[in-house]
Copies of this chain bind each other. A is one copy, B any other.
Amino acid sequence: MAEKEKEQMLGLTVKKEDDFSEWYNQVVLKAQLADFGPIKGFMVIRPNAFQLWEKIQNIFNEVIQEKKVKNAYFPLLIPKSFFEKEASHVEGFAPELAWIENKEEGEEKVAIRPTSETIMYDSYAKWIRSWRDLPLRINQWCNVLRWEVKQTKLFLRTREFLWQEGHCVYETEKECLDEALMFLNEYKNLMENYLAIPVITGEKTEKERFPGAKQTFTLEALMPDGKALQMGTSHNLGQNFSKTFKISFLGKDKKEHLAWQNSWGFSTRLLGAIIMVHGDNKGIVVPPKIAREKIVIVPILFEASKEKVLMKAKELNEKLKKFNSFIDEREEYSAGFKFNEWELKGIPLRLELGPKDLEKNQCILVKRNSGEKKAIKLNDVEKEIEKALNEIHKEMFLKAEKFLKENIVKANSWNEFIKAIEGKKMVECIHCLSPECEEEIKNTTTASSRCIPFNSKEKGKCIKCGKEGKKVLFAKAY
Contact = CB atoms under 8 A, between A and B. Distances in A.
Interface of A: 35, 37-39, 42-47, 50-51, 53-54, 70-79, 82, 98-101, 103, 110, 112, 119, 122-123, 126-127, 132, 138, 142-143, 145, 147, 160, 162, 332
Contacts of A37: 74-75, 119
Given A100-B98, A103-B147, A50 B75 contact: no
11 contacts: A37-B119, A38-B75, A39-B77, A44-B72, A45-B74, A46-B72, A50-B71, A73-B162, A77-B160, A100-B101, A103-B147
A244 to B, nearest CB: 15
Nearest to A48: B70
Contact of A73 (B45, B147, B332): B45
Contacts of A132: 332
A145 B110 CA distance: 14
Given A35-B123, A79-B39, A71 B51 contact: yes
Nearest to A98: B100
Contacts of A122: 38
A75 B35 contact: no
Contacts of A160: 75-77
Contacts of A103: 98, 147
Contacts of A54: 71
A400 to B, nearest CB: 27
A51 B70 contact: yes
Contacts of A47: 70-72, 138
A438 B261 CA distance: 55
A75 B43 contact: yes
A42 B75 contact: yes
A52 to B, nearest CB: 11
A43 to B, nearest CB: 7
A151 B349 CA distance: 55
A160 B44 CA distance: 21
A37 B113 CA distance: 13
Given A38-B78, A73-B143, 4 more contacts: A42-B77, A100-B100, A112-B112, A142-B143
A110 B101 CA distance: 11
Contacts of A43: 75
A54 B43 CA distance: 25
Contacts of A39: 75, 77, 79, 110
Contacts of A112: 76, 100, 112
A73 B44 contact: yes
B142 A79 contact: no
A76 B143 contact: yes
A38 B72 contact: no
A82, A122, A123 pick with most chain B CB within 10 angstroms:
A123
Contacts of A138: 47
A71, A77, A126 pick with most chain B CB within 10 angstroms:
A77
A338 to B, nearest CB: 14
Contacts of A51: 70-71
A72 B126 CA distance: 35
Contacts of A98: 77, 100-101, 103
A53, A100, A143, A145 pick with most chain B CB within 10 angstroms:
A100
A218 to B, nearest CB: 25
A47, A51, A138 pick with most chain B CB within 10 angstroms:
A47
A218 B77 CA distance: 30
A99 B103 CA distance: 9
A202 B363 CA distance: 52
Contacts of A77: 39, 42, 98, 160
A110 B43 CA distance: 15
Contact of A99 (B46, B72, B82, B101): B101
A53, A75, A78, A82 pick with most chain B CB within 10 angstroms:
A75
A251 to B, nearest CB: 15
B72 A50 contact: yes
A79 B122 CA distance: 32
Contact of A101 (B50, B101, B127): B101
A145 B143 CA distance: 13
Contacts of A123: 35, 44
A458 to B, nearest CB: 44
A159 to B, nearest CB: 8
Contacts of A101: 98-101
